[in-house]
Structure 1
Amino acid sequence: MDKLSQADKDRIIQLIQEGQPLPKEDIYKLTADEEDVFLFWNGRSETTTNAVLPFHHIEHIDEPRQEVQEEGTMFSMFDTKGRQKTGWHNKLIWGDNKLILSSLLHGPLRQEIEAEGGLKLIYIDPPFAVGADFSHTIEINGESATKSQSVLEEIAYRDTWQRGISSYLSMMYERLKLMHSLLAEDGSIYVHCDWRVSSFLRIILGDIFSNEYYRNEIIWKRSTAHSDSSGFGNLHDTIIYFTKSPSYSFTTQYEPYSKEYIKTYYRHSDNKGRFLDRDLSAKGLQGGGYKYKWKEKEGLWRCPKETMERYEKEGRIYYTKTGTPRYKQYLEEMPGVPCQDIWTDIYAVNSQASERIGYPTQKPEALLERIIQASSNEGDLVADFFCGSGTTAAVAEKLNRKWLATDLGRFAIHTTRKRMIQVQRELQEKGQDFRAFEILNLGKYERQFFLQELNEAQQRSRQAAYLDLILRAYKAQPAEGHTQLHGRRGERMVHVGPLDVPVTQTRVQAVFEECQSLGYSQVDVLGFEFEMGLVPRVIQEYADAGVRVRLRYIPKEVFDPRAVNKGQVKFYDVSYLRATAEKDKDGKVIVTLRDFVTNYTQDDLDAVEDKLRKGGSQVVIENGQIIKVSKDKNGVQKREPLTTEWHDWIDYWSVDFDYDSKKEIIRLQAEDGTVEEKWTGNYIFENEWQSFRTKQDRTLEFTSAPRVYEKPGKYRIMVKVVDILGVDTSQLLEVEVR
C-alpha cells in the first residue's frame, strides 16, 4: 500500500464501489510484499477442497487360476479367497480426482497409505489441449465407431478452458496442492505436458513444491518428424520433475549404447571383448588419494599400490602408446549411457504395438518404466490421478510396486480394469506374484456433495432442488397434484427416483398403478441405480396392461449447471442381460450368457445421413443399433447394421459365484476424527471369472469355467456385463447346491 499515492488509493476505492475491475498493475501493488515475484491469475484461490467422502467398494479382482495339487489331480478351479489374503490392495477409483484426493488426504484411507510407507511417486498426464478430445474408438465387426466423450468429461476438461489459461491453472493448482499434501516427504512428482502449458505448470509447481526442489525439465522426443508450414515441427512433450524435500529416492537410469557411441568410445578390444580405457585418476575409480610411482620415467598416478597391482593381475590395465596405464572397462559390464534430460530412445505407441489399446492419450510403457524405476523402489506406492488407459498402473504392477489410479471417465476405468487383469494373467503365466486390486467410487456420497453445493447456491429445500434439477436436465415440465409422478415430457409422464438408493420393484409398481388409475399410457422412471429384479418380463407385463414403462439412468452430469443449461445431459435406457446358472453331470455350476438388450442412442441417424457427403461413410449409434451409413458418388444411401447379434454389444463379462460372501463395509469419519465402520447393505463383487475382448483378440467366451462349491446350500451368483460403450449391467441368479 505504501507504493500507492493518495490519488491511486482514491481511484481504487471508487472502482471497487462501482463494481469495476481493477487494473492488473494496481492488483500487483496491492498484493506486493517482500518477494520480488508474485504468482497471480484471475481466479487463484489458496483454499482447497476438504470434503471427506466414503469410498464404495464396487469390485475386487484377484485373477483366478488352476493349480496342480499333485500329478494328475486338480484343485478346484477357483481359490476361495484369491491369492492375496492380507495387505494392501491396489486401487482403481472412478470419480472427480479433486474429491478423491481430498477424501484420500483427510479420510480414513490416509492411514492405509501411511502404513504402506506413504505415497512415494506421482505421475500425471493431465489434459493440456484447449480442445482436448476424450472420445474413444470401438471396434465392431471389422469397422470402427467413435464413442463420444461423456458430457461429464467434456464439461470437466473442455470447459476447463472457459476463461482461458486462468481457469486451467485454477483447476490444476488446487489438485496439485492436494497431491503435494498427500505425497510422502521423500516423494517425487512428474507432470507430463506439452508446449501449450509447460511454462505455466513449471511456475505453479515451483510455487507449490518450491523451486528449491525442482529437479528436471525432461524433454521427451515422442516422434521423429512432423510437418508444419508455419514453423518448426513440434516433436516433443515436457515432463516436469519435482521432489517434496531434499531427501528423496533416485536411481540412475541408462539408455542403451548407440552404434555411434560404441564406435567413438569403445575403440579397443581384446579376447574378452570391447572396452574403453579410463583415466586411473578418475574420481571413484581408485577409491583413495595415494601416489604410486608405477614407472620411474612415466610420472605419478593417483592410485594405491595395492589397487594397481590387483588391476595388473586381473588384466585390467591397458597401456597407451606413450606407456600410460589406463583402466579397462568392458562394454558388457556397463548398463549403458546415464540418462540425461533429453530422451530420444523412447517412441510413442505405434498402431502395430502389442501394448496398444487404442486409448487416445496412451503413453508407452517404456516411458513409465524409466520414471518408476528412477524415483521409486520395489514395494513403494505409486499413483496416477489422470490414469487414462492405465499405463502407470500396468507398469507399476510389473515392477512390483503398489499402485493407486483414478480417472473421471467411465471408459478409462473399464479400459484400465481389463488391462490390469491382462497383466495379472501374464504374471501368473510367468509364475510371478501380483496384487489384488479393487474398484472404488464415491457413489451416492458424491451425488449428495454435488446436490448440497447446488442447494447452498440456490437456497432451496433439498427435495425441491433435486426434482427441479433432474426435470430441467431431462427437459420435462413439473406436474402438480400427483403422488408418484413428478413431471411431463411431451406425452410421457416422468417419475424421478431417489438420490441415495436404487429404484425398486415396489416403487415402479406404484408408478405403474398411478399411471393406470389416471389413464396415462407412457411413463419414464429415472434413477441413478435400479434394483436388479426389474427384468424385461415385468416391463412387458406393464405394457400388456396398458402402460409403457421406460427405465432410464440419470447421469452424474446433471450436477453440473453448465451441462444442464446447455442441454447436453443425455439420459440412457437401462440395458438388460439374461444369464443362466446350471449344474453339469458332476454337480459343478456353470454360468452361461444368453442375451443382452440395449437401447443406447448417441446419434441422430437421419441428421447424419443429411450431412453425409457423396462417397463418404459414418458409423452411427442409434436405439441399440450400430449402423454404418454410406453415400456413393451418385448420392445413393446405404445402411449396414454392424450389430447383427446381441453379443456384438458385449465387451466384457464376469461372474461372482458367491455374491453374499463379502459385505461392503464403508468407513465414515466423524468431525472429531473418529472412524465408524458401517455395512451399506450391499456386497462387494468378487470377480472370480471373466472373459473380455482385447484389441488383439476380439473373441469372447459365453460359458464360464465350472465352479465347485465346498459346502451345500443356496448361493446367489452375480453376473456383470460391460458393453462396448463401457456401461455396466448386472443380474443376480440363485443356485442350490446339495
Structure 2
Amino acid sequence: MAKSLIEQLPDIIAQGRAQAERILESLGTRECVRLQTREVVLPPGQGACPEAGAPGARWMNRLIHGDNLLAMAALLAGDEETPSLRGKVDLIYSDPPFDSKADYRTKATLPGIEQEHRPTVIEQLAFSDSWNDGTASYLAMITPRLILMRELLADTGSIYVHLDWHVGHYVKIVMDEVFGKDAFLNENIWHRTANAGRRGADRQKRFDTVTDGIYLYTKSGRHTFNQLRRTLTSQQQSAYNRVEAATGRRFKLVTLGNYSQASIQSLHAQGLIHQTSTGSRYKKYYLDEASEVIGNLWTDISTSTASRASESVHYATQKPAKLLERIIQASSAEGALVFDGFGGSGTTAAVAQRLGRRWISVDIGKPSCTVTRKRLMGEGAQPFVYQTIANYPVEAAKAYFGRRDLCTDTLSQIVLSLYGATALPSGLHPQYQLGQIVRRSVPDGQVSKTLVLANSPAQTTGAATLQTARSLRDHLLGNWSQWGPWDRVVVLGWNFEPSIGQVITALNDNRLEVLAIPPDLLDGLHRKGGIDRLRSPLHFSSLAHLTLHPVECRSQGLQDILSVRLKNYALLSPDAIHLQGTNRAKLQSVARALPLALIEYWAVDPDYDGHVFRSVWHDYRGNTAHAACGAGSGDALRVNAQAELAVPAKAQPRVVCVRAVDILGFETEITTTVGARP
C-alpha cells in the first residue's frame, strides 16, 4: 500500500535538508552559484549611481530572474560586489504557488489592426501550479527553499508564508521543523473577497472559500514587531453617539468599573468624566482618538475593491498593496532588507520601495520580471539592478540532476527529444549533439529532412555556431543516413551572443532556423515528472531582431545630444511564438502590420562597456511621463519609437547599445558605434 502524505513527510523533509546542506556546503567554493548583472536600471531623475562594489557605493535593490533556490544560493555565497547576505535579511514575504492544479496566465493588450481598430488581447502562460506527484512533490520543492530562507534571515527577522487551503496545513508542519514550533507567532487569516466566484451546483455543496492563511514565524524571540492600529468601521463609529457641546467632538460613554478614586480624579481633571443628570459618572472616549488594534483576522483588505483597479498590472496572482503594507510596516523598520523569492507582479518590491525599505525580488518567470521592472519604473523607484543566474542552464541542470559533474551531453539529448528529433550517433561532431527529424508527406511521398543541432548550456550560440551548423547541413553525410542531404538545419541554444539577431539576418539563409531553449525547461521537467508529460506544452521560442535608423549625434556645449530611432522589430521564427492557437495568430497579425507594437520596454546605454547595460534612457508601454512632456507616442499600447538624450561630450567614438523586451518577456539588443566629436 502506498504511503500516505503524512507518512512521506519525514522523508520529504530529510531529503529537503540534504539538498539544502549540499548547497550550503558549496558556499565559498568554485562550485557556488553566482549572479550576473544584466542591467542597471536608472529611472529618470535619479541620476548616475556609483559602480557596484566601488568605495562609497550605495546598496542597489535587486530584481533577479531565475529559480529562487539558485538565487538564494548565490545571495548566501556573496560575490566581489556584494558580501554574503547570510543572516542579513530582515523580513521575508513568500507567496509560493498554492498547489491549485491551475495554469495562470498574463494578458497583454496590443493595438487593433482590424477596420474598427479595437485593441487585441492575447494571453500567455505565466506559470503552471501543478506537480508531478501532487502535494508530495510540491513539499519537496518548498522544503529546501524554506531552509535557505532561514539562512538568509537575520536573528531579528521574521518570515510570512502566504498559502491557502490546498497545502497550508502541510507547509506549516514543514515550517515547524525548519524554524521550530516555538518560532510560530501567528496564522493571519486574510478575508480576501466576499465570495469565491463559484456558480451552480458546486456552490450548493460547500461554503465559499474566501480566506487565505499567512503563517508568521520568527528566527528568534528578538524579532521586530510594530503594533498596528486601524480606524474604526462605520458600524463601530456609530457607538460614538454623543456630541460635546463646547467642541463638537463625538464621544461614547463607558462605565468606570474598577477605576480607583485617584484615577477618577485624574480623569476628571482631564475633562474625561461625564456625569449624567442622575449623578452617574462615565468615562468619555472620543471618536477622533479611537482606533482598533489589528489582530490576526484581516477583513479590511479586499481583492475586489474599486481602489484595486488603479494598481492592477494584469497579473493573475497579484496581491493588494495594502496587504504588503501591513506586513512590511508590522515586521520591519525603515532601511530594513525585504526579500521575496516568488516575486510575481512585484508588489513586495514596489511597497518596500515606497516605505523606505531595501528589497530583493526573485521570480523564475520572464513575464513576472517584465511586469515588475515596468511597474517599478512607473513608480519612480530608486536605481536597481536586474540580474540573472550566471550560467543559469548549467546551474539549473546541476540542481535537477543532483550532481556537480553534470554530463551536458545528457541534457542535450533531452533537448533533442523534447524538440522531436532522434539523436544521431555520438562522435559526429565533438562539440555538439546532433539529431534528425525525417517526415514523409502523405499525398506525394516527399521526404523532408531536418538536421537539429543542440548547443551545450555551457556554450554561447553565435556566428561560429551558425556557420558550423550550415556546414554540417551541407556536408555531413554518412551510411547512418539513408535520406541523403539535409533540407534545413535547426539550431537550439540556451545562451546567445547579443548580436545573434543581426548575424541571422545577415546570413539570409531560409534553410537555417535558430530557436531558444526555454530557460525554465528543467523546472518544467521537475514539475511535470519527465519528458513525455512536458512535451506537449513545450515551446522552443523565436528569436527577435531589432534594427535602428542611424544614430544621430549633435554637439551642444559640453554635451552631446543623441537621437536614437527604432526602425523595425522582427520575430525571426514567427511559427515558434510561445503562444497557443488564436493568441499566436493575433500576435503574428500585429507583428506584420505594427512590428514595433510588440515592444514592451526599451532602453539606451549611450556608453556600453560590453558587460553591464546601464539604462540611462528608457520607455515602456503606458509611460505617461514621456507623453506629458511631448516625447511620448500618446498611445498607451505603444512605446515611443524615438529617444533623445543629453550625455557628456566625448572625444572618442562611443558605443551605443539599445535593448528591447517584447510583450512575451524576450530580450534582444543591438549596438552601434557613433563617431567621435569633431
Query: Which residue of the partner structure matches residue 565 of structure 1?
Result: 532
Instruction: Tell me the CA shift for residue 248 of structure 1.
Output: 1.3
Query: How many Å separate the matches in 1 of 2:501 and 2:451?
Result: 21
Greater Rg by CA? 1
Aligned mates of 2:45, 2:51 — CA distance in 1 = 9
Question: Are 2:274 and 1:318 equivalent residues in the alignment?
Answer: yes
Q: Secondary structure at the match of 1:659?
A: coil
Q: Which moved more, 1:573-582 or 1:42-51?
A: 42-51
**Structure 2 residue aligned with 1:72:** none
Match of 2:395 in 1: 449
Q: 2:60 aligns with which of 89, 100, 106?
A: 89
Q: TM-score, normalised by structure 2?
A: 0.81
Higher mean C-alpha displacement, 640-649 vs 576-585: 640-649
Rounded Cα–Cα distance in structure 2 between residues aligned with 1:240 and 1:454: 29
- Counterpart-to-counterpart distance in 1, 2:576 and 2:192: 34
Q: Give the conservation status (yes or no) of the 8 Å contact 2:596–2:638.
A: no
| RMSD over aligned Cα atoms | 3.5
**Does the aligned pair in 2 maintain the 1:189–1:243 contact within 8 Å?**
yes
Inter-CA distance 403–279: structure 2 relative to 1 (3 Å threshold) = farther
Structure 2 distance, partners of 1:171, 1:461, is 21
The question of 1:128 aligning with 2:98 is answered yes
> What is the aligned counterpart of 2:637 among 698, 703, 709?
698
Task: Give the Cα separation in 2 of the matches to 1:503 and 1:692.
Answer: 29
Taking structure 1 as reference, are residues 548 and 603 closer, same or farther at Cα in structure 2, changes over 3 Å only?
closer
Q: Secondary structure at the match of 1:47?
A: helix
Query: 1:341 — aligned with what?
Result: 296
Offset, 1:538: 5.4
Out of 438, 445, 453, the position equivalent to 1:495 is 453
| Among candidates 470, 489, 500, match of residue 512 of structure 1 | 470
Q: Which amino acid aligns with 1:370?
A: R
In 1, distance between residues paired with 2:241 and 2:421? Answer: 77
1:716 is matched with 655
Q: Could you say which residue in structure 2 is the equivalent of 1:665? A: none
Q: Structure 1 pair 642/594, CA: closer, same or farther in 2 (3 Å)? A: closer
Matched, 1:656 2:605: yes
1:195-274 matches, within 5 Å, as 195-226=165-196, 227=198, 228-265=203-240, 267-272=242-247, 273-274=249-250
How far has the Cα of 1:222 moved from its partner?
1.2
Alpha-carbon distance in 2 for matches of 1:512, 1:497: 14
Alignment correspondent of 2:497:
531
**Aligned residues of 1:131 and 1:158 also touching (Cα < 8 A):** yes
Task: Provide the rounded CA distance (Å) in 2 between the counterparts of 1:130 and 1:346.
Answer: 22
Partner of residue 587, structure 2: 626
Q: Post-superposition shift, 1:211?
A: 2.3
2:522 is aligned with 1:552: no
State the Cα distance separating 1:602 from its structure 2 match.
Answer: 6.3
- Looking at structure 1, the residues matched to 456 and 302 of structure 2 have their Cα atoms a distance apart, in angstroms, of 49
* TM-fit CA distance, 1:461: 8.1
Going from structure 1 to structure 2, the CA distance change for 1:576 and 1:366 (only over 3 Å counts) comes to: same
Could you tell me which amino acid in structure 2 is paired with residue 363 of structure 1? K
Structure 2: distance between partners of 1:405 and 1:391: 10
Question: Which sits farther off after the overlay, 492-501 or 722-731?
Answer: 492-501
Q: Is the 8 A contact 1:53 1:107 kept in 2?
A: no
| Cα separation, 1, equivalents of 2:258 and 2:577 | 69
**CA displacement at 1:600 relative to structure 2:** 4.1
The 3-state SS of whatever aligns with 2:675 is strand
CA spacing shift, 1:203–1:539, aligned 2, 3 Å: same
User: Distance between the aligned counterparts of 1:192 and 1:452, measured in 2?
Assistant: 29
In 1: Cα distance, 2:34 partner to 2:229 partner: 43
CA shift in 2, pair 1:103/1:109, >3 Å? farther
Q: Which of 31, 34, 46 is matched with 1:54 structurally? A: 34
Cα deviations across residues 421-463 of structure 1 (Å, max 9, x unaligned)?
Answer: 1121xxxxxxxxx53211111131x322344467777x99835
Q: Is the 8 A contact 1:123 1:190 kept in 2?
A: yes
SS at match of 1:737: coil
Deviations along 1:334-388, whole A, 9 cap, x unmatched?
Answer: 4x21112211111105587110011000011011111111111111111111110
Give the SS at the match of 2:221: coil
Partner of 2:584: helix, strand, or coil? strand
Residue 437 of structure 1 pairs with residue 409 of structure 2: no
1:129-148 equivalent positions in 2, closer than 5 A: 129-141=99-111, 142-148=119-125
Whether the 8 Å contact between 2:94 and 2:342 is mirrored in structure 1 is yes
Q: Quote the residue 2:594 is aligned against.
A: 645
After superposition, the Cα gap between the structure-2 partners of 1:525 and 1:237, relative to the gap in structure 1 and judged at 3 Å, is same
Amino acid at match of 1:488: Q
Amino acid at match of 1:92: L
Structure 2 spans left out of the alignment, 5+ residues: 24-31, 112-118, 439-448, 477-484, 625-635
Cα distance in structure 2, aligned partners of 1:461 and 1:365: 42
Distance 1:716-1:279 versus aligned 2 partners, 3 A rule: farther
SS at match of 1:620: helix
CA drift at 1:541: 4.1
Structure 1 residue aligned with 2:568 = 595
User: Does 2:130 match 1:158?
Assistant: yes
Instruction: Give structure 1 stretches of 5+ with no counterpart.
Output: 1-20, 29-37, 67-77, 284-290, 292-299, 425-433, 609-618, 628-639, 661-681
SS of the aligned residue for 1:98 comes to helix
C-alpha distance in 2, partners of 1:354/1:92? 23
Q: Distance in 1 between matches of 2:78 and 2:206?
A: 49
From the superposition, tell whether residues 479 and 196 of structure 1 become closer, same or farther in structure 2 (CA, over 3 Å).
closer
Match of 2:479 in 1: none
| Aligned 1:274-353 pairs, distance under 5 A | 274-277=250-253, 300-302=261-263, 307=266, 312=269, 315-321=271-277, 323=279, 328-334=284-290, 336-348=291-303, 353=309
User: Given the superposition, is the C-alpha separation of residues 374 and 535 from structure 1 closer, same or farther in structure 2, using an over 3 Å criterion?
Assistant: closer
Q: Distance in 2 between matches of 1:513 and 1:39?
A: 54
Q: Distance in 1 between matches of 2:470 and 2:146?
A: 50
Question: 1:602, 1:620 within 8 Å by CA — same for their partners in 2?
Answer: no
Equivalent residue pairs, number = 608
1:474 — aligned with what?
A: 419
- Is 1:378 aligned with 2:334? yes
* Deviation at residue 96 of structure 1 after TM alignment: 1.2
* Alpha-carbon distance in structure 1 between the residues aligned to 2:436 and 2:399: 27
Greater shift after overlay, 533-542 or 580-589?
533-542
Task: Assess, with a 3 A threshold, how the Cα gap between structure 1 residues 302 and 688 changes in structure 2: closer, same or farther.
Answer: same
Quote the residue 1:683 is aligned against.
611
Moved more, 135-144 or 489-498: 489-498
CA distance 1:705–1:148, shift in 2 (3 Å): same
| Structure 1 residue 355 corresponds to structure 2 residue 311 | yes
Task: State the shift of 1:101 in Å.
Answer: 2.1
TM score, norm. by length of structure 1: 0.74
